[in-house]
Amino acid sequence: AYLSKAIALTEENMKLLGNFESVAQAKYRSGLAKNQDLLKVQVELGKLENDLYSLEDLRTVLVARLNALLNLPQGNFLPWPNELLKEITLDDQHADVNTLFDSLNKDNPQLLALSQNIEKNEDGLKLAKREFFPDFTLGLTQIDTADALNPSSPDSGKDPLMVMFSVNVPIWIWRLNAGVAEARASLQAAEEYRLNKENELSSKLALLHYKLRDSLRQSQLYKNALLPKAEQTLNATKAGYEAGGVDFLSLIDAQRVLLNFQLAYYRHNANFYQRLRELKTILGKE
């Protein structure tokens, strides 16, 4: 999006310099300007023309790369996004860094997976501790018997039931202690790894949040202060040059400052959206 806007701004400024050139030619023919003025504007036009060629070549390369990534035929036209033309704002969800930290712990896929791994190791430690408990076995067995030799016996042909009870007491305590120690070490390692990953992601999140707010601040500075002043300066300088009170170099400088401010404004807008996407990726929102 920034590249498309940079191309458009360069083309607009080339047209503006073309108007300056017409003014300089008229003043030169009238003997009110020097040939140097024409040379200056032509040099500046040459610079912008070179910049425009570079930007358009870069656009061709990027379109080809996007077509390849999207498995589209080369030469396919891809419209450029126009989000840079929108008013950028920071909603409540992304304005407060503490809210973002809470969302990070709740929604980040890496941290969620590591939390599940901790729970798994906690279960493993519980199982290792249960190995110390005696193993009780209670059973009921039916014994198959034949008829008694004396069929008239009261219990002849009846299969008796036998209740069985056993206790398996663990005796290899050292081995069980080693199992518990290993499970506890695995749990501690899992907790430390998650804590380190949380600290790493929190640091990235804080830096991205700063860059996001800084891009917003600078974008608003250019839009509300610097760009209007640069436009006023250019208009005043142009009027002064036409009236003969300002030299042509000042006019070129005013035009150059305006172009640089315009490019800087849209660059900060582009940075804002880029940081916002990176922020959402860390939070697991995209």
State residue 235's pLDDT score: 94
pLDDT tens digits, one per residue of 141-184: 666 555 555 555 555 556 565 656 555 555 566 676 787 888 88
Whole-number pLDDT of residue 144? 59
Let me know whether 162 and 260 are in one domain.
Answer: no
82-102: average pLDDT: 75
How many separate domains does the chain show?
3
* Statement to judge: residues 27 and 54 lie in one domain: yes
| CATH number of residue 258's parent domain | 1.20.1600.10
What average pLDDT does this structure show over 8-32? 86
DSSP secondary structure letter of residue 85: G
Distance CA 5, CA 262 (A): 9
Q: Please tell me whether residues 119 and 236 are part of one structural domain.
A: yes
Is residue 86 included in any domain, yes or no? no
* Residue 224 shares a structural domain with residue 122: yes
39 shares its domain with 154: no
Q: Residue 168 forms beta bridges with which residues?
A: 135
Gap between the Cα atoms of 121 and 193, Å rounded: 13
Question: For the residues 105-126, what does the mean pLDDT come to?
Answer: 91
> Residue 31 is encoded by which pair of tokens?
């003997």
Tell me how crowded residue 73 is: count the other CB atoms within 10 A of its CB. 7
Tokens of 68: 């390849």
- Strand, helix or coil at 98? helix
pLDDT above 80 for 121? yes
State whether 252 and 142 are in the same domain: no
List the Cα angle 134/140/143 in 5-degree steps: 135
Q: Classify residue 44: in a domain, yes or no.
A: yes
Same domain, 234 and 121: yes
Residues 69 and 116 both lie in one domain = no
**Same domain for 95 and 141:** no
- % pLDDT > 90, the chain: 38
Is residue 248, in this structure, part of any structural domain at all?
A: yes
Identify the residue with better confidence: 286 or 40: 40
For residues 65 and 127, state if they share a domain.
no
- pTM (2 decimals)? 0.73
- Span 199-250, pLDDT tens digits: 999 999 999 999 999 999 999 999 999 999 999 999 999 999 888 888 888 9
Residue 103 has pLDDT above 60, yes or no: yes
pLDDT of residue 171: 56
The residue to which tokens 């899992």 are assigned: 190
Residue scoring higher pLDDT (71 or 83): 71
Token duo for residue 147: 């008829």
Tell me which residue range forms the domain holding 257. 91-133+173-286
Return left, alpha or beta for 34; rule: phi > 0 is left, psi -120 to 50 is alpha, else beta.
beta
Pair 69, 183 in one domain: no
Same domain, 182 and 252: yes
Q: Buried (b) or exposed (e) across 219-229, using 16+ Cβ within 10 A?
A: beebbeebbee
Q: What is the mean pLDDT of the chain?
A: 82
Closest CA to 85 of 279, 286, 273: 273
- Has residue 12 been placed in a domain? yes
**What DSSP letter does each residue of 148-187 carry, written as one string?**
-SSTTSTTTTPPPEEEEEEEE----HHHHHHHHHHHHHHH
Residue 27 lies in a domain: yes
